[in-house]
Amino acid sequence: MFNIAEVIVDVPAMQTNKPFDYEIPMALATVVQPGMRVLVGFGKGDRTLQGFVINLKTLAKAPTGLKAIKDVVDLEPILSPELLDLSSWLAQTTYAFQITCLQTILPGVMRGDYEKIAYLVTPDAPEAAALFHDKKALTVDNQLTNAQLTTLVRLKNSGAVRFEYQVHNKARIKTRQAVILNKTAAQYTQQAATLPKKLQRQKALLQYLATQTAKTKVIFTKTLQADFSASVLKTAEKHDLITIEAVEVKRRVLPAQTEIQAKQVLLPDQAKAVAAIDAASTAEKQQVFLLEGVTGSGKTEVYLQTMANVLTHQRTALMLVPEIALTPQMVQRVYQRFGDQVAVLHSGLSEGEKYDEWRRIKAGEAKVVVGARSAVFAPLENIGLIIMDEEHESSYKQEDTPRYHARDVAIHRAAYYHCPVVLGSATPSLESRARAQKGVYQLLRLPKRVNQAPLPEVHIVDMRENIQQNRNLDFSRSLADAITLRLAKKEQSVLMLNRRGFSSFVMCRDCGYVVKCPNCDISLTLHVSSHSLKCHYCGHEEPIPKTCPNCQSRKIRYFGTGTEKIEQELQHMYPEAKIIRMDVDTTRRKGAYERLLKQFGQGDADILLGTQMIAKGLDFPNVTLVGVINADTALGLPDFRASERTFQLLTQVAGRAGRGDKKGEVFVQTYNPDHYAIQLAKRHDYEHFFATEMNIRHQGNYPPYYFTVQISCSHPEENQAAKAAYQMLKRLQPALSAKAIVLGPTPRAIARIKNRYYYQIIVKYKSEPKLAPLLADILQTTQRSFSKQLYIAIDREPLQFM
């Protein structure tokens, strides 16, 4: 029998990032298992913490001073051995704490909720009355002032107050009282017949129950209450005819009743792809496929059919979709094929709803999981296929710790289950496409559109001419004419404003002064609706100045282009047009995104104006015009992926036009009409773009030819951040071979965020076996030797280079 449990405690710090041994008390000896949460005392104050049991072991003589597990939180493991394993793999590969990884893998409600309570032991102690008033206990949190806190400490030291730590489990299982029918219809009928006449209500109840047994064995008390009072039910329970108990109800967000839809007939290319994937999943072969298919080539149908095949082999399927593409339309299609076996995980669900879906998956009730990035951790077992749609999407990479890429996690999990992974995209990331080239992934191509419709015609509009014509507007004549035509024909238009690295800010026309955030080194963004300036990094907000703070000139006004400004301009040009604006401001509220899309889909508006978020997934037959107002704001950014992003965005947005039987047209306004990313997007020529871009990456020694890792140092004082970065460089250099390329240290493009300065080093390398252990060591030691103010963050394969 095991007597010791290895526990990862809920303290995210380098020094505690290791298992701690705890004795398993006799009473819990048969209960405690790896993958469970437990409560343990930790540290000098012996505060109670939640921890995860990651291993059990036996020590003949336990070292003295071992604390014992106080209690278990779960009665059975909430993490399978596979997911437990995944947490340590994640911690190692992303340089994150294991506790952070464990919490990332699980739904948010499973995180411990801590409370520190002060109990008054000697009620007549001086100072106590002022703090406790008439109460015996007091929660200690940051509501208390510093003075109150010091008083509490004094009271504690004198023994008048005792601290207690409590851990609350936020994971509430919702229950409702229900009547359980534990007799057959015949028994109820018979029982009803034998009842004396005066028991009218009992008789009626039993007769009613007899009619229900065929349908269900559980009826919520609430639904019965309309016809039968609580006392009637109580009597029936006393006679052992029913039992009344709280049954678990899972909050389910089901779409409107949908009928199961049959498979579609496949084109030859689709059939070939399905056959290849089916063969791999049936053979339980670990193989990564790259499914490269133009918009409208029926990738989704390939996903659905291959998932169906996996289900027939009693295995499960996981489908990842970018958050932004997780539209009701998309989810509906999966429901229509798999019905109730589907679980959906996305950010629109409440914490409780997420927990319920998680439990449905864990219990094996859901065999197909559809979700965004974090759904890659779905507690599925026996996975037979993992699909990642729009695999090039940068939202698959988590920006904060653990800085994982869902693609890597998917492939890691697939290796465990010996199952294939399908990466799908019309514009694969260079990394994936290059791996397909090398034969690491198997390339499957869908070059034809299902409806045989031609891809929309793309017009490149040279905005430099617009300037020469002195049209000081964001709309070129050709795009404006195209919109006019659509309005006349009662067709819809989608206009996209590329906001990457771009926003409207306030600048003085006389002295050039730009209003900046006092905490961060970036200009504030103008928000017309709230008449204020906001910082997009820290949330700082201030009123729009009437005069320039620098030179007192009154000529201080906005500069640049925001959706709000474009909307005003559009409304001015087309007073009769109905416009829907979609950006972070109008879609912040829950369900707003869906509501706006629905309105547009119903034809309630003529023009949909939005940012990148409208480039994906939406599929409306009446849209025949797509306009990109500024195609190349991203091209100017100092990021080697700028061309790739521009190409992907333009290709994707172009796919929004002409989804129905009407022909679509696309206008791309740009100041770089000859740029290859724009020219090749016009021709819908991914393969040519891939070849061109690979060449450039090769010359610049960039991914996918090189691996990259970014090490950033931040500190409230700029010279300290810089100093740390240079020390980092000194430690890195001896461990690296001559082939590695080190960039920096350099201040970040936005050097200061939330009053912290950032310096970064980027290492480009092909094979550096000493690098990973060194980075792990750097994290260990920096926490000790530097001041507490210093943060070191390591990001493998960062997507954001600035």
Partner DNA sequence: AGCACGCCGACT
Partner DNA sequence: GTCGGCGTGCTC
* Distance between CA atoms of residues 224 and 226, nearest Å: 5
Coil, strand or helix: which one is 155? helix
Q: Is 630 exposed, middle or buried (0-12, 13-18, 19+ CB in 10 A)?
A: buried
Verify binding: residue 64, DNA, rule CB under 7 A.
no
Q: Which residue among 34, 41, 501, 545 contacts DNA (CB under 7 A)?
A: 41
163 binds DNA (CB under 7 A): yes
Q: Which of residues 171-200 bind DNA (CB under 7 A)?
A: none
With CB under 7 A as the rule, give the number of residues binding DNA: 27
Residue listed under structure tokens 């039910």: 233
Nearer CB in complex with DNA: 11/308: 11
One residue of 11, 244, 485, 577 binding DNA per CB under 7 A: 11
**Least distance (Å) between residue 23 CB and DNA:** 7
Binders of DNA in range 97-126 (CB under 7 A): 114, 116
Element at 668 (helix H, strand E): strand 665-670
- List the one residue from 45, 454, 591, 700 that touches DNA (CB under 7 A): 45
Candidates 64-72, 83-91, 182-190, 486-494 — which segment interacts with DNA by CB under 7 A?
Answer: 64-72
Q: Kindly tell me which residue out of 2, 12, 56, 189 binds DNA, with binding defined by CB under 7 A.
A: 12
Q: DSSP letter string over 359-413?
A: HHHHTT---EEEESGGGGG----SEEEEEEETTT-GGGB-SSSS--BHHHHHHHH
- Peptide bond preceding 747 in cis form (omega within 30 of 0): no
Q: Which of 22, 95, 417, 686 binds DNA (CB under 7 A)?
A: 22
The single residue among 47, 250, 662, 723 that binds DNA, judged by CB under 7 A, is: 47
Cα distance between residue 121 and residue 28, in whole Å:
31
By the rule CB under 7 A, 717 interacts with DNA? no
Residue among 247, 239, 263, 270 nearest 424 (CA): 270
| Size of the chain in residues | 802
16 binding DNA? (CB under 7 A): yes
511 labelled binding-site residue: yes
Closest-CA residue to 681 (of 465, 401, 505, 460):
460
Place of tokens 């260079």: 430
101 marked among binding-site residues: no
Residue 42: CA count within 13 A, CB half-sphere: 18
Instruction: Please state the closest distance from residue 709 (CB atom) to DNA, in A.
Output: 23
Contact segment (CB under 7 A) with DNA among 11-19, 79-87, 426-434, 468-476 equals 11-19
- DSSP for 480-543 reads HHHHHHHHHHT-EEEEE---TT---EEEETTT--B-B-SSSSSBPEEETTTTEEE-TTT--EEE
To DNA, the closest distance from the beta carbon of 68 in angstroms equals: 7
Closest CB 724 distance from DNA, rounded Å? 15
268 near DNA, rule: CB under 7 A: no
Query: ∠ at Cα 219 (213, 225), nearest 5°?
Result: 120
Contacts of residues 41-47 at CB distance under 8 Å and 24 or more positions apart, as own/partner, are 41/67, 41/70, 42/9, 42/11, 42/67, 45/163, 45/165, 46/165, 47/116, 47/165
DSSP letter assigned to residue 93 = H
CB of 573 to DNA, least distance (A): 53
Vertex 180, ends 179 and 186: CA angle to 5°? Answer: 115
Q: Which of 26, 29, 59, 66 binds DNA (CB under 7 A)?
A: 66
Region of 45-53, 123-131, 469-477, 593-601 interacting with DNA (CB under 7 A): 45-53
- Cβ 65 to DNA, closest distance in Å? 6
Q: Are 712 and 792 in contact (CB under 8 A)?
A: yes
Would you say 42 or 502 has its CB closer to DNA?
42
List residues bridging with 291 in a β-sheet.
Answer: 424, 444
Nearer to DNA, 11 or 31 (CB): 11
Alpha helical stretches, state H, 126-256: 128-132, 146-157, 185-194, 200-212, 221-225, 230-238
∠ at Cα 507 (502, 512), nearest 5°? 115
Which of 26, 27, 29, 46: binder of DNA (CB under 7 A)?
Answer: 46
Complete edge-to-edge strand list for the sheet that includes strand 37-42: 20-23, 4-9, 47-57, 37-42, 69-72
Residue 65 in contact with DNA, rule: CB under 7 A = yes
C-beta closer to DNA: residue 13 or 260: 13
Closest contact distance (angstroms) between CB of 342 and DNA is 39
Only segment of 41-49, 380-388, 485-493, 718-726 that touches DNA (CB under 7 A): 41-49
DSSP lists the bridge partners of residue 507 as: 514, 557
Write the interaction track for DNA spanning residues 504-523; mark x where CB under 7 A is met and - where it is not: --------------------
Beta carbon of residue 400, minimum distance to DNA (angstroms, whole number): 14
CB of 15 to DNA, least distance (A): 3
Nearest distance from C-beta of residue 25 to DNA, angstroms: 12
Residue 784 touches DNA, criterion: CB under 7 A = yes
Q: Near DNA by CB under 7 A, which window of 21-29, 321-329, 514-522, 734-742?
A: 21-29
Residue 150 interacts with DNA (CB under 7 A): yes or no: yes
Instruction: State the nearest-atom distance from the C-beta of 114 to DNA, in Å.
Output: 7
**551 is known to lie in a ligand binding site:** yes
For DNA, the closer CB: 13 or 691: 13
3-class SS letters over 279-346: HHHHCCCCCEEEEEECCCCCHHHHHHHHHHHHHHCCCEEEEECCHHHCCHHHHHHHHHHHHHHEEEEC
Give the residue with the Cβ less far from DNA, 762 or 792.
792
Q: Tell me the C-alpha distance between 463 and 782, whole Å.
A: 51
Q: Strands 579-582 and 607-610, how do they pair?
A: parallel
Residue 754 as a binder of DNA (CB under 7 A): the answer is no
Our finding on whether 787 is near DNA (CB under 7 A) is yes
Annotated binding-site residue? 419: no
The nearer residue to DNA, 302 or 779, going by C-beta atoms, is 779
List residues forming the annotated binding site for Zn(2+): 508, 511, 517, 520, 535, 538, 548, 551
Contacts with DNA, residue ranges (CB under 7 A)? 11-13, 15-16, 20-23, 41-47, 65-67, 114, 116, 150, 154, 163, 784, 787-788
